[in-house]
A and B are shown apart, each in its own frame.
Chain A
Amino acid sequence: MKSANATSYLELVCPAGTPTALRTAVDAGADTVYCGFNDCTNARNYPGLNFNVEELAESVAYAHERGRRVLVAINTFPRADDMAPWHRAVDNAVSAGADAVILADIGVLDYTTRKHPNMRRHLSVQAAASNSMSIKFYKDNFDIKRLVLPRILAIEEVASLIAQIGDVEAEVFAFGNLGTMVEGRCYLSSYISGCSPSCEGSCAPANQVTYEEKGDNLISKLAGITINSFGKHEPAAYPTPCKGRYQAMGKTSYLFEEPFGLNTIDILPQLKAAGVTALKIEGRQRSRAYVAEVVSKFRQALDALARGEHVDASTVQLNAIVEGGKETFGAYKKGWR
């Protein structure tokens, strides 16, 4: 799925939590939009989000009329004895005319390969394929055309991996929320709340989140477990377990990661040089305004890059909408570990 515009062009893959957000992303310059069905088959299963089958078909038509593509994320793991919703989701994505499905579970990959051999398959970040051997497994068995790389590799490692995986395209995260655990391999949220991101598609579900005032502080909790405490002048972040403050060895700290958001706008030339095919913007759960803002800024930056121009990051003011208002290159820079 090389870009329609130019082969040297990085494909911009954008999130859509609703049909309106999808149209917004297309109008703002997304080459490709990804979305999911409104059930447990996708990893952003939040109330009021996602698509039914009719909405997906209409959205695919809207995108195709404008020469853009739609990918459907069916990237959670079916629980035992309950595979039917995932099979149905794949069938529905095919019948709605989607350009590819993004899958993680070996059982769902196997079903799709057998039942819909001509449907293009992408490997979700949830499958956590972090080396060329794993990627070969998915390529040889399920003929995946693209994989979304885990957000754990340094740029040098991204480049080295891409050089080893032949014609499998690499899509990397360029902007948005940044988990610190290997995706698809983290059970922290279900450990605390009983709700599984892997199987039910929601990490830190909102209906189990509470905020309590205690003196001057605001305490954030997930399912009754204290995740963080914010002073008067600190912005209160959402209680995602891997972004919490905890105590170890008598010290309080962000044990896993500060509440930063990923922003790669400064390192786009390096990602391109590494052989990346597509850049992914995270945030199907975010607002239409977020989608419009991030997509158009990345569009400008990528167009400039394609023209061979220097991308001046200071002209692309995105820091205001990065999570926590603070940016990071995440694992792309080696010192992160």
Chain B
Amino acid sequence: MMVVAKTNRLTLGPLLFHWPENKRRDFYFRIAEETDIDTVYLGEVICSKRDPFFEPYYEEVEERLSKAGKEVVRSTLALITTPREMQATRDICATAKGMIEANDVASIEAINGKPFVIGPLVNVFNEGALAFLAQKGAKRLATLSELSLPAMQALTSAAKKLNIEMEIPVFGRQHLSISMRCYHARAHGLHKDGCQFVCQADTNGMPVQTLDEQDFIAVNGVQTLSHGYVALTQELETLQQAGVNYFRLSPHDTDMVQVAAVFRAALKGASDATETFKKLQNLMPDVNFINGYAQGVKGMAWEEARSSNQL
């Protein structure tokens, strides 16, 4: 029997920021009740020190999301160095009800052949790496930041042959780097070991400017993100036509229910690229949007697509 590939699925990536646990729980309740997002990724990706805060709420949130008909995928840490982090990763891989999103090769090892999602913090740039991971049980590729539209298309075409689903991030600050050093703590004159969880104050990351006051990047603990928010409004239709199955929204401290509605309308064809972009601008008047990587230029740029079907 032919398997019909899922299309036009909307996903919510893992929350990258350290929100207070109540805020985080209520956020997911609202996602469960008020959105038609298909898949929600849950779990701490950036800093294992944050893990204990949300742990008591995890089951309740997962249950609420599942009851609302949403697929729940458990995301794992991006940078694993300590025995405790390794054990936590093994535990998640052993006990998760649904699929795991691997954000480090270590998780792929721990998953041990079960179906998994290749997360955007694993370097899969090409069909060779994708084909190898397909043999290891990869079922879906959530792509990394630094891909152009032609690269997304080429990977999508390779993924189809490998029976792998494609997921492209279309909204939110873009991952740029990860470190052992906590830059959030450093900016507050602290070290990672005694960080006082200063990252919690910046619910969308800590904005950073250049010396001549140009908006530059955002810091989220050990992670560096783009300052601008990716918005692949112009590229959406091309990606749909290429056969991309999932479109990922990264959670930010903004009205994500509305953001989901905006992208759902676009995926349905009820709103064209210009209108979709305008709606995002209206929702977030202070945010700069970017799409440089997708357009094949520097990541921090916003480029008008030459035409809706430039490829």
Contact = CB atoms under 8 A, between A and B. Distances in A.
A198 B174 CA distance: 16
A81 B207 contact: no
B182 A337 contact: yes
A61 interface: no
Contact of B123 (A81, A157, A184, A242): A184
Contact of B105 (A129, A180, A225): A129
A76 B144 CA distance: 15
A106 B219 CA distance: 29
Contact of B292 (A106, A194, A198, A331): A194
Contact of A133 (B80, B131, B212): B80
B108 to A, nearest CB: 6
B133 A106 contact: yes
A103 B135 CA distance: 20
A232 interface: no
A226 B210 contact: yes
Interface size for chain A: under 10, 10 to 19, 20 to 34, or 35 or more residues? 35 or more
B128 A194 contact: no
B216 A187 contact: no
B37 interface: no
Contacts of B147: 80
B299 A249 contact: no
Contact of B210 (A110, A185, A246): A246
A109 B123 CA distance: 13
Nearest to B182: A337
B15 interface: no
B57 interface: no
Contacts of B127: 80-81, 83, 107
Interface string B62-97: 000000000000000001111101100110000000
A184 B206 CA distance: 24
A270 interface: no
Interface stretch (B20-28, B151-159, B239-247, B281-289): B151-159
A121 B111 CA distance: 25
A77 B128 CA distance: 10
Contact of A80 (B158, B186, B210): B158
Contacts of A252: 211
Given A137-B106, A337-B193, A255 B126 contact: no
Interface in A128-160: 129-134, 136-138, 141, 152-153, 157, 160
Contact of B180 (A83, A131, A182, A227): A182
A134 B123 contact: no
B297 interface: yes
Contacts of B219: 248, 255
Contact of B80 (A106, A134, A185): A134
B124 interface: yes
A77 B216 contact: no
A190 B210 contact: no
A133 B154 contact: no
Contact of A181 (B130, B154, B174, B178): B178
B288 to A, nearest CB: 13
A104 B110 CA distance: 20
B44 interface: no
A182 B128 contact: no
A182 B180 CA distance: 7
Contacts, number: 216
B109 interface: yes
A336 B181 contact: yes
A245 B211 contact: yes
B308 interface: no
A337 B125 contact: no
Contacts of B204: none
B208 interface: yes
A194 B293 CA distance: 8
Interface in A78-136: 78-83, 104-111, 127, 129-134, 136
Contacts of B154: 80-81
Nearest to A80: B154
A283 B188 CA distance: 33
B104 interface: yes
Interface in B191-245: 191-193, 206-214, 216-217, 219, 224, 226
Contacts of B79: 130, 152, 182
B126 A83 contact: yes
B126 A79 contact: yes
A274 to B, nearest CB: 15
Nearest to B193: A337
B254 interface: no
Contacts of A335: 191
A274 B151 CA distance: 42
Contacts of B211: 219, 226, 228-229, 245-247, 252
5 contacts: A133-B86, A181-B224, A246-B211, A248-B209, A252-B211
Given A77-B123, A80-B158, A249-B188, 20 more contacts: A78-B128, A81-B151, A82-B126, A105-B129, A107-B126, A110-B131, A111-B128, A130-B81, A131-B86, A134-B109, A138-B105, A191-B300, A196-B146, A199-B146, A247-B209, A249-B206, A253-B187, A336-B180, A336-B181, A337-B193
